[in-house]
């Protein structure tokens, strides 16, 4: 199956289910057109249109984001483009943090002007914290398939990809299956991007291992057992991989999203990316606005930018599949060169439903530490 058609398959196989903040130190900057409280705005119309939203966001002057590494899905360029387009400073905190860290920061910093304005979360963490999100519908909301959004816009899927194994072919043999990672050639070399009880990439990595070992989206236990065996063999490397650890050789094998591993191929000639065809796991991240955002207008303008043609093409430039890809392809607004260059993946992708994700997250919470320590 050509990966560019994945959105059609995903829509057919996925069944996604579905407090105003205190005034900041900048006075009444959070008011929209006609005195509308920006924290209560559910669309740009509440500001009198996009022009009013832009004006309100520029009055706030700042946007707080968290857990957005510059090399992750092209976020470095996305942040730069937003700042230059709207003359709004983006304060990017803890770029290497996990999804759960975003929620923790929002709770810890609640009521301060340093709290995150927006979230970019894994499915399991997002679904466990929907009461923290402010509903908002961007101008392109109707072009996003119903399966990929909350009906009120409390959360919306943003970009997706496939789980993969990236590896330095100058340091390890070519990989043809996940079982290869159990071999002695991989001793102390296999890293997972994060803790699967907190990070979406790691969570999906365990799902991939489960599918490759007879499990299903209803049963993640074989995946946990695989990593237990990986550790027993001395092959599991308890280091969170980053571009720096990859390029230095510290993490020569990384289980991560394909768009992140593909980025490393552009920097390291010997870096290869393997997607196991017997365990094709696809997934989206969730975008949401913090209901207690200290810069509520800027938070909403950020969402408008991300789901615009410009924002979606910027994610595509990072190798990720933007949620509006099919609609943009039909309208002729997608970057066709980048879209056609997406790698081909065969097999039917497995996309866990919300209910399956919650069940697997519960199992991981009870069993991951026991298996890995």
pLDDT at 31: 52
- What domains are there in the chain, each with its CATH number? 3-160+283-340 (3.40.190.10), 162-280+348-372 (3.40.190.10)
- How many C-beta atoms surround the C-beta of residue 71 within 10 A? 16
Q: Is the dihedral of CA 6, 11, 15, 17 positive or negative?
A: positive
pLDDT at 351: 86
Over the Cα atoms of the chain, what is R_g? 20
Q: Splitting the chain (373 residues) into consecutive groups of 10 residues, what average pLDDT does each group show?
A: 41 36 40 70 98 98 97 95 98 95 98 98 92 98 95 96 95 96 98 93 96 95 98 96 94 95 90 93 94 98 98 96 95 95 80 90 96 90
CA distances from 55 to 23, 29, 30, 59, 211 (A): 18, 9, 10, 6, 49
Residue 199 phi, psi (nearest 5): -115, 135
pLDDT at 35: 56
Q: What is the pLDDT of residues 86-131, one digit of tens each?
A: 999 999 999 999 999 999 999 999 999 999 999 999 988 999 999 9
pLDDT at 354: 82
pLDDT at 22: 36
pLDDT at 27: 39
pTM summary value: 0.79
Task: Report the SS3 class of residue 161.
Answer: strand
């Amino acid at each position: 199956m050509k990966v560019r058609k994945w959105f059609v398959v995903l829509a057919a196989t996925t069944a996604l289910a579905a407090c105003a903040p205190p005034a900041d130190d900048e006075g009444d900057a959070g008011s929209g057109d006609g005195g509308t409280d920006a924290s209560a705005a559910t669309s740009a119309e509440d500001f009198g249109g996009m022009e009013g939203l832009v004006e309100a966001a520029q009055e706030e002057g700042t946007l707080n984001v968290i857990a957005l590494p510059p090399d992750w899905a092209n976020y470095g360029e996305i942040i730069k483009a937003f700042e230059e387009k709207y003359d709004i400073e983006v304060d990017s905190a803890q770029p290497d943090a996990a999804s759960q860290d975003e929620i923790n920061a929002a709770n810890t910093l609640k009521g301060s002007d340093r709290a995150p304005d927006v979230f970019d979360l894994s499915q399991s963490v997002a679904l466990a914290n929907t009461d923290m999100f402010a509903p908002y519908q961007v101008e392109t909301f109707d072009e996003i398939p119903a399966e990929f959004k909350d009906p009120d816009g409390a959360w919306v899927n943003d970009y997706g990809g496939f789980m993969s194994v990236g590896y330095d072919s100058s340091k390890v043999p070519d990989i043809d299956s996940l079982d290869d990672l159990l071999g002695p050639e991989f001793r102390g070399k296999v890293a997972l991007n994060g803790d699967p009880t907190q990070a979406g990439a790691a969570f999906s990595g365990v799902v991939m291992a489960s599918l490759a070992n007879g499990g299903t989206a209803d049963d993640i236990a074989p995946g946990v057992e695989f990593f237990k065996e990986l550790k027993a063999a001395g092959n599991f490397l308890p280091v969170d991989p980053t571009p720096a650890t990859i390029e230095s050789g510290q993490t020569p094998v990384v289980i991560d999203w394909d768009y992140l591993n593909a980025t490393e191929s552009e920097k390291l000639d010997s870096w290869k990316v393997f997607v196991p065809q017997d365990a094709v796991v696809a997934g989206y991240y969730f975008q949401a606005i913090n209901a207690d955002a200290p810069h509520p207008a800027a938070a909403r303008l950020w969402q408008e930018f991300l789901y615009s043609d410009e924002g979606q093409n910027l994610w595509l430039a990072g190798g990720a599949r933007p949620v509006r890809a099919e609609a943009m392809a039909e309208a002729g607004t997608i970057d066709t060169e980048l879209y056609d260059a997406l790698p081909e993946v065969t097999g039917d992708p497995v996309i866990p439903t919300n209910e399956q994700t919650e069940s697997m997250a519960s199992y991981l919470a009870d069993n991951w530490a026991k298996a890995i320590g």
